[in-house]
Structure 1
Amino acid sequence: MTTAATDLRADAEATLQRLAGSGAQLREDQWRAVEALVAHGRRALVVQRTGWGKSAVYFVATALLRARGKGPTVIVSPLLALMRNQIEAAERAGIRAVTVNSANTDDWQAVYGEVRAGEVDVLLVSPERLNNPEFRDQVLPELSRTAGLLVVDEAHCISDWGHDFRPDYRRLRTLISELPEGVPVLATTATANDRVTTDVADQLGVSGQGDGALVVRGELDRESLHLNVLSLARGADRFAWLAQHLDELPGSGIVYTLTVSAADELAAFLRERGHAVTAYTGKTDPADRERAEDDLLANRVKALVATSALGMGFDKPDLGFVVHLGAPQSPVAYYQQIGRAGRGVERAEVLLLPGPEDKDIWAYFASLAFPGEPQVRVALSVLGDAGRPLSTAALEPRVELSRGRLEMMLKVLDTDGAVKRVKGGWEATGEPWEYDGKRYLGLAKARRAEQQAMLDYITTDGCRMEFLRRQLDDPGAAPCGRCDNCTGKHYDPSVGEDVRVQAQEVLDRPGVPLAPRKQWPSGMDALEVPLKGKIKPEEAAEEGRAIGRLTDVGWGPRLRPLMRSDDLAPDAIVDAAVEVLKGWGWTERPTGIVWLPSRTRPALVESFAQRIAAIGRLPLLGALADDAPPRYSDPEDDSEPEPPNSAQRLAEVYGRLSVPVDLDPSSGPVLLVDDVSDSGWTLTVAAMLLRRAGAPAVLPLTVATTN
């Protein structure tokens, strides 16, 4: 090692010790990456297990580059939780880090000023910020010119072969191409198999094809993790097992669920059983999320019951366990989540409690994939013909895609150069664009293979860590000697009958509020629907009720089969509806029942209305009329390739439903019965029509809801 290299390493070690403590020493691979970035201005891709110290590489490199007069480091980071942890870590090393994200919009201009003044060492930005028109046009060019280092954290997000693809990450290709010669680039991830690694390297220009790039890839075993699977058939058994055994798990940890409703249900039940837990989902208020993270970091709670919203970047070295209620749809995603545990402790427990409903939830997630070519071409045509930018809301009525899929598609088209985000929305560029059907078919095939691999993980009698490492193409994969299959020690599935009964009572508890719609979608005039602005109070529905959610752990498995057939309403559903009605708490009891016409489940809906009427001794006023053929099938109909988005669902029911002349709803509040609430527009339009026909109030009641 040359004198210069020796001095550089000494500086690097000193910086690391400020970051991680006086005894810290750089791993050899960490030093290789730091030296490549600082001494040689190279590009590097680091694929190492969670907790290995990838952030130490870029913070040490930042300190050394800044000491040598280089510009600030720009870190593209996907989650606010990750940003908060990184800023705190940077401060320990004497590095001033700031962030611009959706939670601190009032600070943006001040932050940009500090960056221009050279007062900032690290600027953390979310990938979504890269295509904010103001940031892209006014801030990004200056950052590209002056940056000393670009870091792409959680780089697997750039690949749609990865488990957490984010279209905005693709914009990094443009940013990298505009960097001055010699500016180093570092990409890091813990969860990338060979295919994802190659894709990321190619897209970021760190592929090593003659450009002097460095790829550092290590073994992915985590010696602290003890993997287990416990298969319990019923949701009540899984809830009860957790309630009975949560306190036996070491330290504090995370209990992951697949859906928001499962997280809310489980957290509520565990709190009823005296456990200090908090729900953490994508619907949790940002301030509450931060408070929950702090409570877990300080061990004020036993666990966060979380969806994947608590994922990449949450850093608690002494996290003692990760439990999954329901299996993620790929072993790679599972490995990423269990990697939160055991970074700074000798032993951490990892337990998977799979459920029979997991495959149904996977199927729903799979339905959100990139749209087919016809829908994409329609969107491009509409934007091309508009002659002005269109917002997502204005485009939605014209394209048969849900809002989320439409936004994702536009971001991909933006990175492909077919559309551009501008002030006021989106516009077509007119550039030629080809639909990569082969890639999307390959993706669908890969997703199915991943799901099967997850099922194989559950049932394997081999080493579980070796299985996961092979899924990540880890060449060092070997039996761990720690998991349940290696040791022959499995968790006891037994639970006390009192806990099981209480869990079953909780999961059997029917009743989900249906919040009434408050405002019509934008742009309905494009579909010749004369509705806009706020819904008039005198035409609105009251808050309704559904028996349960299709995604619920308790009611979901019972409701989903009903949505796949058209049988008479079963006794269990009617009994549950009676319980919901008893606890409704309305200001005035309904005086009659109206049901909605159904083309997919007419027997279920009408028999449900009839039996409720008989039990409640309420007159059946009749069904609304179905006056026109539907443009779209029911959202639960598997034969329909693309369910309509919110605006189109509204347009369909607005032109289709009417109140028959012999149906008089004016005698008092009307109980409006339907099978499933999805977008909510069917109930909203039906309520409006009944209110216009004289109903003083409309109370929706459905068998199920998707929300």
Structure 2
Amino acid sequence: MPAAAPDTTAPDTLDLREEAEDVLRRLVGDPDARLREDQWTAIEALVAGRRRALVVQRTGWGKSAVYFVATALLRARGAGPTVIVSPLLALMRNQIAAAERAGVRAVTVNSTNGEEWGRVFEDVRAGAVDVLLVSPERLNNPGFRDEVLPPLAATTGLLVVDEAHCVSDWGHDFRPDYRRIRTLLADLPEGIPVLATTATANARVTADVAEQLSVSGTRTLEDVLVLRGSLDRESLRLAVLRLPGHAHRLAWLVQHLPQLPGSGIVYVLTVAAAADVANHLRAHGLEAVAYTGQTDPAERLRAEDDLVNDRVKVLVATSALGMGFDKPDLGFVVHLGAPSSPIAYYQQVGRAGRGIADARVVLLPGAEDRDVWRHFASLGFPGEQDVRRALAALAEAGRPLSTQALEAQVDLRRNRLEMMLKVLDVDGAVRRVRGGWEATGREWAYDAERYARVSETRAVEQQAMLDYEATGGCRLEFLRRALDDAEAAPCGRCDNCGGFDVPRDLDEDAVRAAGEDLTRPGVPLEPKKLWPSGMAALGVPLSGKIAAEERPEVGRAVARTTDLGWGGAVRELFAAAAPDQETPVPLRRAAAAVLDDWARELGLDGVVAMSSASRPHLVAHLAEGLARYTGLPLLATFELHPGAGPTRSDVNSAHRLAQVTGRFRLPPGAPVEGRAVLLVDDRTRTGWTLAVAARELRLAGAARVHPFVLADGE
């Protein structure tokens, strides 16, 4: 049965609230600060009722105040330390600083401070720590899980799950590591309060998270206090601006970012776009820095600090800059390309305007958005055959296998393989141990129906994002309804409500400069330097470093398939339904421009062409055309092994290398000895075909090999 509603007029309740608000005033540094009613309701439920609560409130509402105030009150009553599961280092740093203001000592264990873990755990055991922040990935680190987590769960005074929508695979940012929290919840002693918080959960995700909070003992859904508030953000002024092409969108940024208030974020959909857009903005006088999941951690910290302290105008970021980044006076968020769901979009725009009255939010959608969505959607949970193969490999090994060793037996790319293993770990079918992964032998069922429903949900969300772009109604009301906000109403501030007249004028010189930048083809192709692990198990006698005398030089592609400029042309050329054809005229000119810029000083002696089972005409036409353009002889064409058909590129490095090894043969007597060779193919997706072909050429005596392709990427 639900717990009885507390009497908020009782003396003990009044004293507790006054104590809570005293902590709040220290936390925020404001002598007049008072708790919101829902903040107080949550704190009272945690401290007085020792309940489990889910708080769904907009970014900037003050969710962190709930758990820091509750921590101070619980610690004063003899409770153990609070454990906060938090997804990002940026969030941890901000929260530690906030906790100190309230007299709460907070520490963290994460991948960057391993040398401090021993001291941190000693301090926790000694009672000198009030709050321990951990990343969800720590929960499944074998040492942490087996040695630290059990005593921590037994002594914790409050468990906090921040960004709790990550627990749900219906959420826009599901993370398998978060599912480990279910085990932590089940291991908590009875009566330990639990708080889950998020700003981006619709009704389905809220119900799923609440259900997972109720996994311990006799708790039921009725025992989980759910507090959902209005998701209105009074400072946000939203707009959508459709522009004719990529050059116009870049020109808009150059021309109008300086007019936007303060500093802010430009979100892009791909890592390549982040670097390209940041470079373009810097070239036109704007302080801009790229920020992606591939950025060095130290550089990410520096970039965040530069933005917080207004030393840069803009971070050009992928979704890696999302949850937890806290700059209350962030003046704007611009999206160059749309995220795949209104919920993800609301989460990102929520970075702006948390502590100021007026923040600008502009979406500049692109024609390539749906292609990017389809690509990321294709990386969902693997099919049953792949899962069964991984389970069988682990069972047959009879010992732990590392992810790298398992790659040799399961043809999935590493990120998908790791995601699959984490899900299987949470489901109890495998277990992460020192040295890798092992099978548990427990029965496991492939929930195809659930995975299909999740995939269908993603498709619905993509359509909803297109509907958001096209709506003539209130932008913020649309987003709030997507999050099932019962109080959603027209905001009066967006472009459709008449409150934001987004600038539309474009300087012709800026458009021309952007066009020149976009139409400048050519991106480097770095050579492979290590053979994948476990190749002997696939019958390929290659291991360790690739010898320098067997490697190609840094090559060139006309464009990446994710590029804003030439990316569209190569995506169209390699679309699934596109025919095998001659190199299109625009790409011929682009290829010639790359050679003029790159190959002039290489001292090339000839051209060698690859062969293709899927696009033989395209490859032959490209190689012959480049030979004519450069005046170099076509020295040879690699021959395909008889019966070779198209290969799969959506596999890991080990299996891709196994596919292409022995697939091609350099004709006997090919005149390559002592020569510098231009190695031509239509595209590269993993780099292993070029690595194998270059090795064959070097072993045949070629002095240097310079790869050249039209496209880099899927």
Bucket of the pairwise TM-score, normalised by the shorter protein: over 0.9
Distance change in 2, residues 1:374/1:697 (3 Å): same
C-alpha distance in 2, partners of 1:125/1:489? 41
2:598 is equivalent to residue 584 of structure 1: yes
Query: In the alignment, which residue of structure 2 is the partner of 1:112?
Result: 121
Provide the C-alpha distance between the structure 2 equivalents of 1:644 and 1:264, rounded to a whole number of angstroms.
Answer: 26
- 2-side partners of 1:110 and 1:679: how far apart? 43
Contact 2:211 2:221 (C-alpha < 8 Å) held by counterparts: no
1:89 matched residue in structure 2: 98
Render the CA deviation track for 1:462-483: whole Å, top value 9, x for unaligned. 1111111111011111111111
Superposed displacement of residue 350, structure 1: 0.6
Q: Verify: 1:651 aligned to 2:665, yes or no.
A: no
Q: How far apart, in 1, do the equivalents of 2:565 and 2:33 lie?
A: 49
Q: 1:76-105 deviations in whole A, cap 9, x for unaligned?
A: 000111111111111111111111111111
Matched, 1:37 2:46: yes
Task: Output aligned runs, 1:246-285, within 5 Å.
Answer: 246-285=257-296
1:17-52 CA-partner distances (Å, limit 9, x unpaired): 111122211000000000010111100000000000
Amino acid paired to 2:623: A
The question of 1:663 aligning with 2:670 is answered: yes
TM-score normalised by the chain length of structure 1: 0.97
User: Which position in structure 1 is the counterpart of 2:192?
Assistant: 183
Find the counterpart in structure 2 of residue 534 from structure 1: 545
Which residue in the other structure is 1:16 paired with?
Answer: 24
| 5+ residue gaps, structure 2 | 1-8
Q: Does residue 287 of the first structure (1) align with residue 301 of the second (2)? A: no
Instruction: Answer whether contact 1:516 1:540 (CA < 8 A) is retained.
Output: yes
3-state SS in 1 of match to 2:146: helix
Correspondence for 1:676 among 654, 676, 683: 683
Q: How does 1:282-321 map to 2 (within 5 A)?
A: 282-321=293-332
Residue 426 of structure 2 aligns to which amino acid in structure 1? T
Q: Choose the corresponding residue for 2:10, options 2, 21, 35.
A: 2
Percent identity of equivalent pairs = 63
Q: How much has 1:380 moved relative to structure 2?
A: 0.6
Equivalent residues of 2:172, 2:344 under 8 A apart: yes
1:631–1:652 CA contact under 8 A, matched in 2: no
Deviation at 1:488, TM superposition (A): 7.1
- The answer for the alignment partner of 2:6 in structure 1 is none
Which moved further from structure 2: 383-392 or 101-110? 101-110
Secondary structure at the residue paired with 2:319? coil
Task: Work out whether residues 400 and 435 of structure 2, in 8 Å CA contact, stay in contact via their aligned partners in 1.
Answer: yes
Q: Does 1:214 align with 2:234?
A: no
User: What's the offset of the Cα at 1:272?
Assistant: 1.0
Distance 1:660 1:130, change over 3 A: same
Rounded Cα–Cα distance in structure 1 between residues aligned with 2:254 and 2:502: 14
CA distance in 2, matches of 1:443, 1:228: 29
State the one-letter code of the partner of 1:475: A
Q: Match of 1:346?
A: 357
Residue number in structure 2 paired with 1:601:
615
Q: Which digits, 9 at most, give the CA deviation of each residue in 1:579-629, with x for residues without a partner? A: 222222686411011111111121111111111110100000121111154
Contact 1:44 1:206 in 2 (8 A): no
For the Cα contact (< 8 Å) 2:237–2:499, is it kept in 1?
A: no
Pairwise mapping of residues 145-160 of structure 1 onto structure 2 (< 5 A)?
145-160=154-169
1:173 is matched with 182
Change (3 A) 1:520 1:169: same
After superposition, give the CA deviation of every residue in 1:226-273 in whole Å (9 maximum; x if it has no partner). Answer: 110000130000000110011111111111001111111111111111
Give the alignment partner of residue 76 of structure 1, picking from 67, 77, 85.
85
What is the number of equivalent residue pairs in this alignment?
Answer: 700
**Greater alpha carbon shift after TM alignment, 265-274 vs 205-214:** 205-214
Q: Secondary structure at the match of 2:528?
A: coil
For structure 1, the 5+ residue unaligned runs are 636-642
Deviation digits for residues 629-687 of structure 1 (CA, Å, limit 9, x no counterpart) = 4476354xxxxxxx222111100110211211142211411110111111110000000
Structure 2 counterpart of 1:625, from 639, 655, 661? 639
Runs of 4+ aligned structure 1 residues displaced above 6 Å come to none
1:106 deviation in Å?
1.4
Deviations 1:559-592 (A, max 9, x none): 1011123221122212222222222268641101
CA distance in 1, matches of 2:163, 2:693: 47
The equivalent residue for 2:572 is 561
* Conserved? CA contact 2:525–2:554, under 8 Å: yes
Query: d(CA) in 1 for partners of 2:237 and 2:587?
Result: 42
Say if 1:45 and 1:206, in contact at 8 Å, map to a contact too. no
Q: Tell whether the 8 Å contact from 1:206 to 1:214 is kept in structure 2 after alignment.
A: no
Letter in 1 for 2:61: W
Q: Kindly state the Cα deviation for residue 212 of structure 1 after the two structures are TM-superposed.
A: 2.7
Partner of 1:638: none
Change (3 A) 1:104 1:585: farther
**Normalising by structure 2, what TM-score?**
0.96
Q: Give 1:451's aligned amino acid.
A: Q
For the pair 1:236 / 2:247, whether they are aligned, the reply is yes
Q: What amino acid sits opposite 1:68 in the alignment?
A: R
